[in-house]
């Protein structure tokens, strides 16, 4: 590669592309660390999550700068949404001519930004590279693999990700084990997650199972939604169930009658601080979210992931997470409520999940030249 001005100078700024709530949590410590180093940077919000409760409240909670631009892409099929993202991002990159585009996670905004930047010969850095579920029915799995192949810098959150990248031909000079910036955000806000105050404000029971479900395999099929509703009602026979309802599953669960059980409390989507407070105060969490698997690992809250696989196996070996199916969900919740949880390796915290990932990423980015 030809050498030019150091990344972060005025003529080769860093553009962060975010589009969905998990991106915001991962980007916050990176943006903050780069700000401390005086890097010239901007934030492009694609608007993939566009409701205030799914987007703007996260910027406020995390002290992220107001996005320099909001593309307002909104929802749609994968093809339509990705195409709209690429058109809007190409326009922004041509106008800004960044020296580096930083993308986060595995949403459509991530792969769209990587594709556009690569075709414009702009270096790409992928935060959370190398995660693999090996389940191609998950759109996120396709996004991860494509993004990593296009990325000049692959920032891995856990050791197994390095092996996945190596198996796919990603050179070691492109890979950096930095830890997990989502955990930076978690640890940096521990004193703001007030579970007791949240319970009082929302009139929640003292003991409950928190639930969040949004994966297509769980909520897009009406029969699956009905079966899950039946299982959640069985859990509610044992303990109160509190569920912030993701927009993706709202209609399916409403038709299935999820809220008909007197001990099921359905909430609107919560901001970051409120959601983690809810999780922190739960007796257990039932989820299909990758980020929740990570947060519960550090918080020490039992996590039951309603999926046949996970791209975050470190949350099982080092954390509180375990995979469950719809058929064994109630039985596993019952065991957890009676104190039966799997043993964790070591102290239960994966390597480098120490609150300094953002600084490590910023250090690599500011030394990068092209």
Distances (CA, A) of 89 to 59, 70, 95, 129: 20, 10, 10, 21
Q: What is the C-alpha separation between 250 and 78, in angstroms, rounded?
A: 19
For residues 178 and 155, the answer to whether their CB atoms sit within 8 Å is yes
Q: Are residues 19 and 164 in the same domain?
A: yes
Predicted local confidence at residue 370, as pLDDT = 45
pLDDT value at 8 more than 50? no
Helix (H, G, I), strand (E, B) or coil at 332: helix
Q: Are residues 127 and 242 in the same domain?
A: no
Among the listed residues 297, 289, 290, the one whose alpha carbon sits nearest the alpha carbon of residue 316: 297
pTM summary value = 0.92
How far, in whole angstroms, is CA 16 from its chain's centroid?
A: 15
pLDDT value at 358 more than 90? yes
pLDDT value at 5 more than 60? no
For residues 58 and 25, the answer to whether their CB atoms sit within 8 Å is yes
Q: Are residues 227 and 86 in the same domain?
A: no
CB atoms within 10 A of CB 58: 25
**CATH assignment at residue 221:** 3.40.50.2000
Task: Report the number of secondary-structure helices (H) and strands (E) in the chain.
Answer: 16, 13
Among the listed residues 209, 235, 213, 240, the one whose alpha carbon sits nearest the alpha carbon of residue 225: 213
pLDDT in tens, 158-172: 999 999 999 999 999
Residue 186 lies in a domain: no
Predicted local confidence at residue 106, as pLDDT = 95
What confidence tier does 58 reach under pLDDT thresholds 50, 70, 90? confident
3-state secondary structure 60-83: HHHCCCCCCEECCCCCCCHHHHHH
Q: What is the mean pLDDT of the chain?
A: 91
Burial class (CB in 10 A: 0-12, 13-18, 19+), 90: middle
Residue 184 lies in a domain: no
Residues 77-84, mean pLDDT to the nearest whole number: 90
For residues 81 and 73, the answer to whether their CB atoms sit within 8 Å is yes
Structural domains in the chain (count): 2
Q: Is position 233 annotated as part of the catalytic site?
A: no
Residue tagged 């459509």 (tokens): 108
Q: Are residues 156 and 272 in the same domain?
A: no
Structural domain harbouring 22? 14-179+353-367
Helix (H, G, I), strand (E, B) or coil at 45: strand
What confidence tier does 289 reach under pLDDT thresholds 50, 70, 90? very high
Residue tagged 């396709």 (tokens): 142
pLDDT in tens, 245-260: 987 788 889 999 999 9
Catalytic residue of the set 126, 176, 214, 261: 214
Q: CA geometry: angle at 328 spanning 324 and 334, to 5°? A: 100
Which stretch of 71-80, 212-221, 294-303 has the lowest confidence by average pLDDT? 71-80
Distances (CA, A) of 187 to 12, 61, 152: 31, 14, 29
Residue 343 lies in a domain: no
Report helix angle 247-256 to 222-236, nearest 10: 70
What confidence tier does 47 reach under pLDDT thresholds 50, 70, 90? confident
What confidence tier does 3 reach under pLDDT thresholds 50, 70, 90? very low
pLDDT value at 10 more than 80? no
Q: What backbone torsions phi and psi does residue 140 show, to the nearest 5 degrees? A: -65, -30
Q: Are residues 63 and 211 in the same domain?
A: no
Predicted local confidence at residue 346, as pLDDT = 62
Distances (CA, A) of 155 to 125, 129, 182, 208, 307: 7, 5, 13, 36, 25
Residues 318-326, mean pLDDT to the nearest whole number: 95
Residue 3 lies in a domain: no
pLDDT value at 194 more than 90? yes
Predicted local confidence at residue 369, as pLDDT = 59
Among the listed residues 78, 80, 4, 11, the one whose alpha carbon sits nearest the alpha carbon of residue 39: 11
Residue 6 lies in a domain: no
Residue 174 is given by DSSP the state: G
Residue 293 lies in a domain: yes
């Amino acid at each position: 590669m030809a050498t030019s001005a150091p990344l972060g100078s005025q003529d080769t700024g860093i553009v962060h592309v975010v589009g969905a709530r998990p991106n915001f949590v991962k980007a916050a410590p990176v943006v903050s660390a780069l700000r401390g180093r005086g890097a010239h940077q901007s934030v492009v919000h694609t608007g993939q999550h566009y409701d205030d409760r799914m987007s703007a409240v996260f910027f406020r909670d995390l002290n992220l700068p107001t996005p320099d631009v909001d593309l307002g892409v909104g929802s749609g099929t994968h093809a339509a949404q990705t195409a709209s993202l690429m058109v809007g991002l190409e326009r922004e990159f041509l106008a800004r001519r960044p020296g580096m585009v930083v993308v986060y996670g595995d949403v459509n905004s991530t792969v769209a930004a990587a594709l556009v930047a690569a075709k414009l010969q702009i270096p790409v850095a992928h935060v959370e590279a190398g995660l693999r579920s090996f389940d191609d029915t998950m759109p996120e799995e396709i996004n991860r693999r494509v993004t990593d192949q296009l990325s000049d810098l692959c920032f891995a959150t856990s050791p197994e990700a390095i092996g996945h990248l190596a198996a796919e031909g990603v050179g070691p000079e492109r890979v950096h084990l930095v830890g997990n910036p989502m955990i930076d955000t978690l640890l940096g806000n521990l004193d703001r997650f007030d579970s007791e105050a949240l319970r009082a404000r929302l009139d929640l029971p003292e003991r409950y199972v928190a639930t969040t479900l949004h994966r297509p395999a769980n909520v897009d099929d009406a029969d699956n939604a009905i079966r899950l509703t039946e299982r959640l009602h069985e859990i509610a026979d044992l303990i109160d169930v509190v569920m912030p309802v993701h927009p993706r599953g709202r209609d399916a669960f409403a038709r299935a009658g999820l809220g008909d059980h007197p001990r099921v409390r359905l909430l609107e989507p919560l901001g970051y601080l409120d959601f983690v407070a809810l999780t922190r105060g739960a007796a257990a969490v039932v989820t299909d979210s990758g980020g929740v698997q990570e947060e519960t690992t550090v918080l020490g809250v039992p996590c039951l992931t309603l999926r046949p696989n996970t791209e975050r196996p470190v949350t099982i070996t080092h954390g509180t997470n375990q995979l469950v199916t719809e058929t064994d969900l109630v039985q596993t919740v019952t065991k957890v409520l009676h104190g039966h949880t799997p043993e964790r390796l070591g102290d239960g915290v994966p390597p480098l999940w120490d609150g300094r990932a953002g600084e490590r990423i910023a250090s690599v980015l500011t030394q990068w030249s092209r």
